[in-house]
Chain A
């Protein structure tokens, strides 16, 4: 009966983010929060494992004060307890800081047989948290997982690689990061939504994790983020026949360096 921990990130819903026409900066003022997409798959996978094998599922998140909005949401999806760490450092945290904080919390809460993360977050998609967690905790890490099974203390994971799949068998405890194709996250029923309020959520103070200032200092700094807007050239070729139009098109593309 594995004891699972799911790490998740509360991100802005990208569909609510607008690009300001002038400076292409992002307007997030009306963006709602959501559990990062692949993290939903991670939560679902942990819950499926629990339904099949028993055990326990806990959830862990680190973020700004906005993460408090995620607690009932995550609990409605299966985990029986959620631990949350709120700190302003999360505002600018890179994958290194995030992994430092999560690993410190896991040392405090654990041990866990299986730690599941999403392959990447919906906002930054750095794909580093799971690998860094494995390194920091001294655990094996299996990434790009699209199929996962548990047999006693052994985890069998099918990894989707660029041109093949690879099956990895690992003795736990282990960290895995899952892809969006691994499962279809459930839509919580209303009773699960309303029942979430009765499940425990526990705050972990970052000061209690024994991390020094350097561990909370991001190495990567985002100076600015700009939206991408495709600009149409609205070129119309008016040659007398299709072949000539195609010729014009290929010439134009070649002039722009398209080979």
Chain B
């Protein structure tokens, strides 16, 4: 049994760290204020093959595997979790199209997504409790040669900048299991993006509703089989949850490292606060949480890479981090005291970002439900 990354995985992890230092560190603080989509950085992600990291070489990807993917997401998140979110949502769209798409869909979209020529988005959520249920649910009504889409998808990340959406709609409003995935170009008539949502963290990764006002798409826009959207969504969201856990670990690690440096520099009572036991306890617990979370995270990623069931383990990691993510930030802020609370320091941004990675996509108690269901 080996818990270490392979030589290639270590080099890829190092590439992510070097990339983050070169391209993300200079913009992170600014992005938190301007909230502008960092297109130039996304292009660089593509130039360094990060956007196709998880995809096979035949479609232009790097074929690097899921362990490398989470190592990269963690590495990028240590500098800028918003960019990691953009990359993860791009990956959700490209993965779905590559795995369930027709040859025509793959040819049309996957390479463009890998090269960063096209931004993708994964539109699954709605304002109702689950897709297909609620007053504004997206419904795909069959028409001659295609479907008419009407309704709203909510909390769509990369919305507005995306040129292609992987969209989920029920084909029968009375049957949530009729959920079907579609690939829809942003420029089609009747599709519009709502006002950008001002988020607490992960600023720079845009979030908005996408409104479909009788958008007509051909039959060839269906991704996979009709009524198979639930399976597509479940698989992609499970993978995305592992990547989001990697974001949480990356943010937490960044907070621990910043607090440790600060504690060595900050002198109180005639000596650095790092020598005071209460501070040591805070740092030690936060570092331990990050270490254990990373072990669980990489073990889960290995299951994905080996083609084994991973959903329970992914839920465990998500649940663990949902409890501890915010605690890591509270503890590290505590180490930095009044200065740590200041917006001149990075911890407030990290605090807001970690809330995004632990709260989005699944409420904190949802993973526990999945874990319990798998063992009882």
Contacts and interface: CB of A to CB of B under 8 A. Distances in A.
Interface of A: 69, 72-73, 76, 187-191, 193-194, 196-197, 234
A73 B13 CA distance: 12
A193 B22 contact: no
Contacts of B8: 72, 193-194, 197
Interface residues of B, number: 19
Which interface residue of A73, A76, A190, A196 has the most chain B CB atoms within 10 A?
A190
Interface stretch (B46-54, B130-138, B315-323): B46-54
Interface in B30-69: 47-50, 53, 62-64, 68
Given A191-B62, A193-B12, 8 more contacts: A69-B7, A187-B19, A187-B48, A189-B49, A189-B62, A190-B68, A191-B49, A197-B8
B15 interface: yes
A228 B26 CA distance: 31
A130 to B, nearest CB: 26
A194 B19 contact: no
Contacts of A73: 11, 14
B11 A72 contact: yes
Contacts of A190: 12, 15, 48-50, 53, 62, 64, 68
A225 to B, nearest CB: 22
Which interface residue of B8, B19, B270 has the most chain A CB atoms within 10 A?
B8
A234 B12 CA distance: 45
24 contacts: A69-B7, A72-B7, A187-B15, A187-B18, A187-B19, A188-B15, A189-B15, A189-B47, A189-B48, A189-B62, A190-B12, A190-B15, A190-B49, A190-B50, A190-B53, A190-B68, A191-B62, A193-B8, A193-B11, A193-B15, A194-B8, A194-B63, A196-B11, A197-B8
A222 to B, nearest CB: 28
Interface of B: 7-8, 11-12, 14-15, 18-19, 22, 47-50, 53, 62-64, 68, 270
A196 B50 CA distance: 17
A72 B262 CA distance: 36
A65 to B, nearest CB: 14
A249 to B, nearest CB: 19
A188 B47 CA distance: 10
B137 to A, nearest CB: 39
A72 B14 CA distance: 12
A76 B11 contact: yes
Contacts of A193: 8, 11-12, 15
B92 to A, nearest CB: 19
Contacts of A188: 11, 15
Given A69-B7, A187-B48, A190-B62, A234 B270 contact: yes
Contacts of B48: 187, 189-190
Nearest to A234: B270
B39 to A, nearest CB: 19
Contacts of B14: 73
B304 to A, nearest CB: 18
A187 B45 CA distance: 11
Contacts of A191: 49, 62
Which interface residue of A69, A187, A197 has the most chain B CB atoms within 10 A?
A187
A123 B48 CA distance: 29
B235 to A, nearest CB: 23
Contacts of B50: 190
Contacts of A194: 8, 62-64
A190 B65 CA distance: 11
A189 B14 CA distance: 11
A20 to B, nearest CB: 15
The 7 closest A-B pairs by CB, nearest first: A190-B49, A190-B62, A187-B18, A189-B49, A189-B48, A193-B11, A191-B49
Contacts of A69: 7
Contacts of B49: 189-191
Contacts of B12: 190, 193
A195 B15 CA distance: 14
A234 B19 CA distance: 40
Contacts of A196: 11
A72 B11 CA distance: 8
Contacts of A76: 11
Contacts of B15: 187-190, 193
A234 B267 CA distance: 11
B84 to A, nearest CB: 16
B79 to A, nearest CB: 13
B228 to A, nearest CB: 31
Nearest to B51: A190
Contact of B22 (A72, A187, A197): A187
A111 to B, nearest CB: 32
A191 to B, nearest CB: 5
